[in-house]
Chains A and B, each alone.
Chain A
């Protein structure tokens, strides 16, 4: 009786794929990829409003590039910056390139705010008025008598107290010089001209980043050839470098995969196994992707990367199938399936158990990866079982591949040699493994994710030395239920920051409420002036002594009176603010207003993070938060890996008996131990990402163990399947070990060490039973 009909099975498979295709066309067209790290936090720790604010902040800074061109003289530095600006302009990559201070813009800003001079007092002026109004007169005289007081005195007629020039200067502190309208910084004998550019595409698409990289390298070459220097930093540059090295690594992995493909072609002398393997992987990844998005709404990019890696076990199912064709003369697809079905189903079961155990932890990433890989593996299994029998009809390699003879020789003699020499091998291996494990130290620093070159990091460092560049990933979020509430909260924070600044916790801090007083404070400022100067006769005395005539004094009194009720709104103030200030404002929605308070030269993180307790204040430290998150993920995933081993052991024990189960599971256990000890010996990164690799080692290791255990008299074709699997795995994931990105490298290294060990151990399984 034939209960298995390949055509019907394949039809079922096709229907499934069709359904997924329809679902996919719906979900994949929406925005399905999550890249922000806050999404990795457990649901209970996620605060959507903070996530949103941080996202908006990141959008504002994402496209920004800061450049300094250096030369021995100011005009030369400016000339280099001018050339750079031209190149930037021609590239079309940027929506805004700022070299010269726009004078019209500057004048407009001045005009706009000047009308509110009685309301906008800087902190110092306010302090003097409160403590000792006479001090203000002294300060004014000093300014007016100074040989450099031209700018200040320019508006003396309309602003005799110099209130506005004081406010305007306080807004733009620092020791920069302007020459030809360009901001210049001097450092020793070197002049640096500042150029800031904003990329039009702040989502940083790959092809734009490639153009940017070329552009910057070209510009750097030219300026250096002319004897100048170029320093540049900014998120796009870091991302461009990262994506460039990723592309190089993808190229290496594809060379590896090509070698794997060649090996498959040579072994089977047919393209069919190759095409079917690709089909299997593609179908299972597609299924996992579509179903995961349907369930989670959005999936994280890390899920995609590591989930897809874990599905890699699925290719083994196909390889076992193909290799079984060498086992007997009268092989048919149906017989082959019968032979491997138990093995791959058991293997599926254990892998499902081990991967699914990841999902127990309350971490969204682990849950997503667990789900993704479970769906992927089931699909891979279903493809082999349902579709392959039909597509393998008539597949029967007539040759005995050299590879088969080689692996057969190896699987016969290698275990025998091991068993003969175990007396000295065992102690050596145990000591080596123990020594490596002893040296294993976890590192969870998120900065290891970055793959920037040392030159880029040095340039970034140098720029931060020369300019007060705000820290991009460490800042305060301040919120309030309305602008008033927000203003109060930010003022409270700024007061605390001033104290911390004096204690040296950071170099500078900046926030909007430093420059924009809320309406109440504006009224207070006005009345403070009224009380101290305009009503007290002090203004008259001061103006008369300086030499103003009566008419001028009366006019000033009149102007002051007329301005009593004018108030500048935050919106109007922001309209006149420069780019750097505007970036602090994240806007108001129905129930809250949010701003950022930025810092430069941070020295004491602990003191700053304590300000988190203030009303409406949230300390954001993306790097430290992410590092600690990775640490928690790592601990959790380690526990789950151990649990997975336990469950797999129980499953195998119930099926094959405890002794045999122990034998099978010792393959991945030992492979894991060797892999970890190698990480220790070679001082490799050990973090969350290695654990995904170890999970893959568990899945593949158990697979090798089970198949050798079930092989009986077909050990030669099994050894071929296992060897092919190990080689293809090494050529794909193992090659990631050459990556310059630390975590990718760590993943590749762990897989390589684990799979090699599993390959060396697997033939020992089942040997004694023969």
Chain B
């Protein structure tokens, strides 16, 4: 009997629903802000390597300017992404298949635009949520088989499963929403302005 009760409770609190509705519910839980700043730890598991590649650093997201991804260890580097441009210290590069936009949507807590590019599945609890994305685009599917996002009022974890068996997990910590960019961050984003 207790099991049945638990099951009913579970069904009441957990909504398993599809695409837009699901995203709307997640969006409602996420904090809306122009700027998001935080730290990340990334663990990449490459099939051919015996040990994972672990890196950490900070990121800053600005709603209209893009993302600055700053790896601090083991190799310091800076990566700037907007929805059409990708900048590294070694020059501009083409943005890999719709990736800039996806990355930005995820960090920017605006998941609604993801439904055009992905088949979406997930669960939403009272606060926490979890969603899995499968690319619709054939070309992207060849690289990424699935992505999994989870969080509460912020995005906390992102897992990327590649078609070739490699995978990465990103953990986000110390997330805050400052009022404005620092001078250093402004200077970084200046690289993306034409």
Residue B46 interfacial (CB < 8 Å):
yes
Q: Do the beta carbons of A147 and B103 come within 8 Å of each other?
A: yes
- Partner among A138, A151, A154, A175 whose Cβ is within 8 Å of the Cβ of B85: A175
For B189, what are the chain A residues with a Cβ–Cβ distance below 8 Å?
none
Shortest CB-to-CB span from B141 to chain A, Å, is: 11
Q: Do the beta carbons of B75 and A141 come within 8 Å of each other?
A: yes
Shortest CB-to-CB span from B106 to chain A, Å, is: 11
For A146, what are the chain B residues with a Cβ–Cβ distance below 8 Å?
69, 71, 77, 79, 88
For A103, what are the chain B residues with a Cβ–Cβ distance below 8 Å?
138-139, 142
Q: Do the beta carbons of B93 and A178 come within 8 Å of each other?
A: no
Q: Do the beta carbons of B94 and A180 come within 8 Å of each other?
A: no
Interface pick from B4-12, B15-23, B161-169, B178-186: B161-169
Q: Do the beta carbons of B48 and A552 come within 8 Å of each other?
A: yes
A75 to B51 alpha-carbon distance, docked (Å):
40
Q: Do the beta carbons of A175 and B166 come within 8 Å of each other?
A: no
**Nearest-neighbor residue (CB-CB) of A543 within chain B:** B49
For A248, what are the chain B residues with a Cβ–Cβ distance below 8 Å?
none
Known: A144-B53, A145-B53, A147-B103. A179 touches B84 (CB 8 A): no
Contact with B along A134-163 (1 / 0, CB 8 A): 000011011011111111011011000000
A148 to B93 alpha-carbon distance, docked (Å):
11
A546 to B45 alpha-carbon distance, docked (Å):
12
Q: Do the beta carbons of B50 and A175 come within 8 Å of each other?
A: no
Known: A103-B139, A148-B99. A175 touches B162 (CB 8 A): no
Residue B114 interfacial (CB < 8 Å):
no
A131 to B21 alpha-carbon distance, docked (Å):
56
- Partner among B50, B96, B164 whose Cβ is within 8 Å of the Cβ of A148: B96
Shortest CB-to-CB span from A190 to chain B, Å, is: 11
Contact with A along B38-60 (1 / 0, CB 8 A): 00001010111111010100000
Interface residues of A in 172-224 (CB under 8 A from B): 172-181, 186
Q: Do the beta carbons of B75 and A138 come within 8 Å of each other?
A: yes
Residue A453 interfacial (CB < 8 Å):
no
Residue A394 interfacial (CB < 8 Å):
no
Q: How many chain B residues touch the partner (CB < 8 A)?
A: 46
Interface centre among A142, A149, A173, A548 (most CB of B within 10 A): A142
Known: A150-B162, A548-B48, A548-B50. A179 touches B143 (CB 8 A): no
Shortest CB-to-CB span from B145 to chain A, Å, is: 11
Known: A142-B75, A169-B93. A148 touches B138 (CB 8 A): no
Q: Do the beta carbons of A150 and B75 come within 8 Å of each other?
A: no
- Partner among B46, B74, B96, B116 whose Cβ is within 8 Å of the Cβ of A141: B74
Known: A142-B77, A154-B143. A147 touches B69 (CB 8 A): yes
Residue B100 interfacial (CB < 8 Å):
yes
Shortest CB-to-CB span from B6 to chain A, Å, is: 39
Shortest CB-to-CB span from B81 to chain A, Å, is: 8
Residue B170 interfacial (CB < 8 Å):
yes
For A552, what are the chain B residues with a Cβ–Cβ distance below 8 Å?
48
For A138, what are the chain B residues with a Cβ–Cβ distance below 8 Å?
75
Shortest CB-to-CB span from B170 to chain A, Å, is: 7
Residue B95 interfacial (CB < 8 Å):
yes
For A124, what are the chain B residues with a Cβ–Cβ distance below 8 Å?
90
Residue A427 interfacial (CB < 8 Å):
no
A145 to B170 alpha-carbon distance, docked (Å):
12
A180 to B141 alpha-carbon distance, docked (Å):
11
Known: A103-B139, A145-B71. A150 touches B49 (CB 8 A): no
Q: Do the beta carbons of B79 and A150 come within 8 Å of each other?
A: no
For B137, what are the chain A residues with a Cβ–Cβ distance below 8 Å?
179-181
For A546, what are the chain B residues with a Cβ–Cβ distance below 8 Å?
49, 53
Residue B119 interfacial (CB < 8 Å):
no
Q: Do the beta carbons of B96 and A151 come within 8 Å of each other?
A: yes
Beyond A142-B88, A146-B79, A147-B42, 6 additional pairs, beta carbon < 8 A: A139-B90, A145-B44, A148-B103, A177-B97, A178-B98, A181-B137
By a beta-carbon cutoff of 8 Å, the part of chain A in contact with chain B is: 75, 103, 124, 138-139, 141-142, 144-151, 153-154, 156-157, 169, 172-181, 186, 546-549, 552
13 A-B pairs with CB atoms under 8 Å apart are A144-B44, A144-B53, A145-B74, A146-B77, A154-B162, A157-B48, A169-B93, A175-B84, A178-B139, A180-B138, A181-B137, A547-B51, A548-B48
